[in-house]
Amino acid sequence: MLSKTMQEALNEQLKHELYSAYLYLSMAAYYEANNLSGFARWMRLQAQEEQSHALKFFDFIVDRGGRVTLQAIAQPPVEFQSPRHVFEQTLEHERQVTSLIHQLYKSAQQENDYPTQVMLQWFISEQVEEEKNAAQILDTMQMAGDKGQVLVMLDRALGQRGKG
């Protein structure tokens, strides 16, 4: 059984995961509007991944006898300075999510809530991968700049995500 404190914290994280999906859909829309369909595909798949993360929290709350309470999700930004700026924001956002997961883990430790700690281990590992992926793409974009042939090549490469 979840404590009230952990239930509230997990519901809050569920909201953050859904916001992440919403943010990445907004980023996908930006890329689509700028004729970068490969970047848009990458972001759409990222949004789907974040939705699956939200459902992990949803299911965990239910499995532990808690009550899921869906909260309002803020509107994400819709305009970005450049294609590279989107990935700067992506990396910053993933770092914020990592911090939230770490805070949640500390709360679970303080409550001696071992099942929640075990579940959060998966998210801790996942955040290492999320930050690494965003950082690698951003590094490539910083080398390439926001325009030109390298950006087009990166767009094509990112468009291959999930295709096999």
pLDDT digits (tens, 9 = 90+) for 122-137: 999 999 999 999 999 9
Residue 74 inside a domain? The answer is yes
Residue 102 inside a domain? The answer is yes
Nearest CA among 31, 60, 27 for reference residue 46? 27
By residue range, what is the domain housing residue 68? 4-158
Residue 8 inside a domain? The answer is yes
Residue 98 inside a domain? The answer is yes
Distance CA 153, CA 159 (A): 10
Q: Sort 114 into a burial class: Cβ within 10 Å, 0-12 / 13-18 / 19+.
A: exposed
Question: Number of structural domains, the chain?
Answer: 1
- Whether 146 has a pLDDT exceeding 70, the answer reads no
Residue 154 inside a domain? The answer is yes
Residue 9 inside a domain? The answer is yes
pTM: 0.93
Nearest CA among 138, 132, 122, 143 for reference residue 27? 138
> Residue 149: pLDDT band by 50, 70, 90 thresholds?
confident
Residue 163 inside a domain? The answer is no
List the CATH number of the domain containing 104.
1.20.1260.10
Mean pLDDT (whole number) for 77-97: 96
Q: What is the pLDDT of residues 60-70, one digit of tens each?
A: 999 999 999 99
